Amino acid sequence: MLGKGKTPQQMYSPETAIDKTVAQNILFLHAFSGCDTTSALYGHDKLKLIKTLQQHASLKTTVRVFKDENAEPDVIAEAGLRFFEELYG
């Protein structure tokens, strides 16, 4: 039994600490929601992007394009526009 204010040491991994959809797309979400090299999207924080990706199953397929090192630039642009359409309605 632990004393007051003491918590057990826990190990976390992306598969257990956060939703699997988020874990699999963490780099995409980080880049689109603002990071050191990109600006954040107006009026949308990281949580909004996460919820959008979780709520629209078809977007999971769409964002896979960003992981494909052989994807054509126009296919990547189309995937980005599709994500923006869902995000902004």
Confidence category of residue 21, pLDDT binned at 50, 70, 90 = confident
Mean pLDDT of 55-80: 90
Angle at 69 between CA 55 and CA 61, to 5 degrees: 20
pLDDT of 40 reads: 64
Least confident range of 9-23, 32-46, 75-89: 9-23
Confidence category of residue 7, pLDDT binned at 50, 70, 90 = low
pLDDT of 89 reads: 79
Q: What is the DSSP secondary structure assignment for residue 66, as one 8-state letter?
A: G
* 18 three-class SS: coil
Please give the mean pLDDT across all residues of the chain. Answer: 77
67 and 16 Cβ atoms separated by less than 8 Å: no
